[in-house]
Every structure is written in C-alpha cells, then in structure tokens.
Amino acid sequence: MRKKVIVLGGSSGIGKAIAERFAKEGWQVIAGSGHLAAMQNVVSALDGEGHVAVEADVSSEEQIKKLKELVQQTFGTFHALINSVGISKSVPVLNADFLEWDRSLQVMLYGAVKVCRALVSLMEDGGRIIHITSIHHERVASGSSAYGMAKAAITQLTRSLAVELASRNILANTIAPGFVDTPMSVKADGQNELDSAWFRDNYVKYDHLPLKRAGQPGEIAGVAWFLAGADASYITGSVVTVDGGLTITF
C-alpha cells in the first residue's frame, strides 16, 4: 500500500524539501501552505503522481476544517503528519504591538495544536507525527521571544502527544534545526544572514559552529524521512538536534 503524508509549510525551505523527499521515496503527498500558488508550483514538480496542494493557513480554523475534509476525501486515512510551518520576525517582548508579538504563537503553536486536533483521528495506528522546532526552543536571541516560546511549546506539545498517543503506537518527535539556508535566512533588510560578516565571524572564523556552514533543507528532510521509517520504531517524544554542532560549543 502506498503510504500517505501531510506536509504543512511545504511551499518553501525545509517543508518543501520534506515534501520532495517523501515523494521521491514513493509516498503520496498532501502539501499545505498559506501561499497556494507557491504550493501548487512545488507539488507540480514532485516525483510521482496523485499529490495534492492545498491552501492551509494554520491560524485559520476554516482552512483547517477544509484541510480535514480534503484529507478525508483524498486519503481517507494517512500515515504521517509533518508540521514545518514557521514564521520569523524580530519582535521585542515589551514594546511591540501585542498582536504582532502574538502572531508567532498563533501560527506556530496554536496552529500545530489545532491541526493535530483536527487530523490525528484520521491517522493510521502506528503513524508518525513530526514537528519542526528549532534550537531556539532552548536558546534565546534578542527579539525572538515569541518565536522561541512557540518553539519551546511545540517541543512540549510533541512530548505530550507521544504520551497520549502511545496506546495507538503513534510516535511523535520533533527536529530542532540550527542555521539552515532557507528563505527565512533573508532578513527584513534583504540580506541573507548566512552571507553576513556577523555569521562568518561568529560561526566560521571563531569556531562556534564546528561544521563551519549552514545546513541545507535536504539534510533536515533526511532526518524527517528517518523518523517516519521503520528504523525509528522505538523513538518517541524526542528532540533530534540537527545543527552542525552549534549547541555543543560555548
């Protein structure tokens, strides 16, 4: 039987690479994003047939409901849910507009909760839930409070799901990337932070990043593929850090 995966945040970066990897391995993919046209472009280029692009702004309960209906109609049941939805904007804790600050939590945390509440009942027993968190789930950078809080909460959500779904042998894990070369690396001023003097000095020249380079989206996708496979059958509630050694240094 051909396995089926839902990939959210699939229009670019890590989510796109995950959709591509699973399609290459023969899975049928429903890929969702708040940017439907971009999502359709990705899906049209995937290996194999029968893949579906869907508009899925996870902060919209109406779109989550439509996603569930589409999954029921297209898949019936499915085997893996991978949530790579992410937004990144520097917002200070105290002086920003609260709604702007809260946006990260509404999208990344509450979106993840709502998606799981809507879709996990359709998942096959023995299925896999894989969230993309970040090394920010335990690290702090100025302006990243809401982002880091959302990522930390996703880690705890994953652990809770691992406990609550163990009776169905559904495994829940999360991947914590470090620097990865994606569109999110490009900041508001248009510069890719991975090309900046700040990155080269801190993480390459002075050895704070042992592998001396950012990761590629496909390297994260490979870990997601492993976690969805038979060799990960005794891993649940875990955080798999994929950061080139960044968090082992000081």
Q: What is the pLDDT of residues 32-90, one digit of tens each?
A: 999 999 999 999 999 999 999 999 999 999 999 999 999 999 999 999 999 999 988 88
Q: Which residue has the higher pLDDT, 102 or 188?
A: 102
Give yes or no: 234 in active site: no
Query: Residues 110, 147, 206, 234: which is the catalytic one?
Result: 147
Residue 242 banded pLDDT, cuts 50, 70, 90: very high
Residue 22 pLDDT > 80, yes or no?
yes
3-state secondary structure of 1: coil
Share of the chain above pLDDT 70, in %: 100
Please state the pTM of the whole predicted model.
0.95
Q: Which residue has the higher pLDDT, 56 or 207?
A: 56
Q: Which residue has the tokens 């949530």?
A: 83
Is the distance from CB of 109 to CB of 150 less than 8 angstroms?
yes
Residue 91 banded pLDDT, cuts 50, 70, 90: very high
46, 135, 150 from 84: Cα distances, Å: 18, 14, 13
Euclidean distance between CA atoms 232 and 250, whole angstroms:
31
Q: Which residue has the tokens 């704070």?
A: 208
Ordered domains of the chain (ranges, CATH): 4-183+216-248 (3.40.50.720)
Specify the pLDDT at position 111. 97
Specify the pLDDT at position 185. 85
Specify the pLDDT at position 57. 95
Surface-to-core class of residue 96, CB atoms within 10 Å of its CB (0-12 exposed, 13-18 middle, 19+ buried): middle
User: Each residue of 122-167: pLDDT tens digit?
Assistant: 999 999 999 999 999 999 888 999 999 999 999 999 999 999 999 9
93, 136, 240 from 145: Cα distances, Å: 6, 9, 22
User: Each residue of 187-206: pLDDT tens digit?
Assistant: 767 788 898 988 999 898 88
Specify the pLDDT at position 90. 87
Q: What is the mean pLDDT of residues 93-98?
A: 93
Residue 8 banded pLDDT, cuts 50, 70, 90: very high
Residue 220 banded pLDDT, cuts 50, 70, 90: very high
Contacts of residue 97, Cβ cutoff 8 Å, sequence gap at least 6: none
Mean pLDDT (the chain) is: 95
Surface-to-core class of residue 98, CB atoms within 10 Å of its CB (0-12 exposed, 13-18 middle, 19+ buried): exposed
Specify the pLDDT at position 33. 96
Specify the pLDDT at position 63. 96
